[in-house]
C-alpha cells in the first residue's frame, strides 16, 4: 500500500467514525422520554407520600383491642377514623395484619376501592374484600395462639381505583398499589387471647 492509498484509507476511516458518532449522538438526543415508564419518577415518588392519622373510638393507639373485635368476641371490625386524606385520593386500601405471627406476617383483612371517607363503621364492608390468612374473604379478628400480639390497621390513599376482583390475595393487592400510593397511615393495637 503506497502513502497516497494509506492516506485515503485513513481519511475514509476517520470520516466513517465521525459519521457514526454523529448518528449515535443524534439518536440519543432525539429518543423520546417515556414518562409513563414505571421507572420514571420512581425515586421522587416515596418522598411525596403524605401522612394520614388513623384512630379508633374503640381503642387508643398502642392499647388493647376490645374482645368484641377478636375471635374471643363477635369477631367484627372495629370503627376506624382518618384525618389527612388528600383531596386527590380516588380510593383507600386497608390492610390489617399481625407481624408477631410465626413464621410470617399474618393478614387479617384486606379491603380496596374504599371511598375516600373519614370513617369506616364498625361491622361493615367498606369496599372490595380479599382473602385473609384464615383463607376466608373478609375480616378475621385478632386470635393469637399465645402471648400478646400487635395488630396494625394500615390505610393507604391511592390516586386510582384498583381493577382487582373480590377474593384476591394480599400479594396481588400490593402489586396493584405500586406507584399509586399518595398517602398512608396506621394504628396499632394489641391483643392477648384469654
- The residue to which cell 406476617 is assigned: 105
The string of pLDDT tens digits covering residues 124-171 is 999 999 999 999 999 999 999 999 999 999 999 999 999 999 999 999
- The residue to which cell 395462639 is assigned: 145
Q: What are the grid coordinates assigned to 97, written together?
A: 395484619
Q: Would the pLDDT of 29 be above 70?
A: no
pLDDT for residue 47: 58
pLDDT for residue 13: 52
Q: Would you kindly state where each structural domain of the chain is located, as residue ranges?
A: 1-32, 46-192
The string of pLDDT tens digits covering residues 110-124 is 999 999 999 999 999
Strand segments (E) across 56-118: 80-83, 91-98, 106-114
The string of pLDDT tens digits covering residues 161-190 is 999 999 999 999 999 999 999 999 999 999
Topology (CATH level 3) of domain 46-192: Phosphatidylethanolamine-binding Protein (3.90.280)
The string of pLDDT tens digits covering residues 57-93 is 999 999 999 999 999 999 999 999 999 999 999 999 9
Q: Provide the CB-side half-sphere exposure for 89 (13 A, CA).
A: 29
pLDDT for residue 193: 87
pLDDT for residue 5: 53
Amino acid at each position: 500500500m503506497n502513502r497516497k492509498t494509506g492516506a485515503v484509507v485513513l481519511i475514509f476511516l476517520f470520516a466513517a467514525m465521525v459519521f457514526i458518532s454523529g448518528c449515535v449522538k443524534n439518536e440519543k438526543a432525539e429518543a423520546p422520554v417515556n414518562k409513563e415508564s414505571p421507572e420514571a419518577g420512581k425515586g421522587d415518588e416515596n418522598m411525596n407520600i403524605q401522612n394520614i392519622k388513623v384512630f379508633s373510638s374503640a381503642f387508643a393507639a398502642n392499647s388493647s383491642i376490645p374482645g368484641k373485635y377478636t375471635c374471643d368476641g363477635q369477631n367484627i371490625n372495629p370503627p376506624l377514623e382518618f384525618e389527612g386524606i388528600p383531596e386527590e385520593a380516588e380510593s383507600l386500601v386497608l390492610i390489617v395484619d399481625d407481624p408477631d405471627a410465626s413464621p410470617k406476617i399474618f393478614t387479617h383483612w384486606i379491603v380496596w376501592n374504599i371511598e375516600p371517607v373519614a370513617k369506616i363503621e364498625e361491622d361493615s364492608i367498606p369496599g372490595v374484600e380479599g382473602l385473609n390468612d384464615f383463607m376466608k374473604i373478609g375480616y378475621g379478628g385478632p386470635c393469637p395462639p399465645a402471648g400478646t400480639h400487635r395488630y396494625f390497621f394500615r390505610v393507604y390513599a391511592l390516586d386510582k381505583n384498583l381493577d382487582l376482583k373480590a377474593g384476591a390475595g394480599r400479594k396481588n393487592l400490593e402489586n396493584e398499589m405500586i406507584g399509586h400510593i399518595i398517602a398512608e397511615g396506621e394504628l396499632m393495637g394489641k391483643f392477648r387471647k384469654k
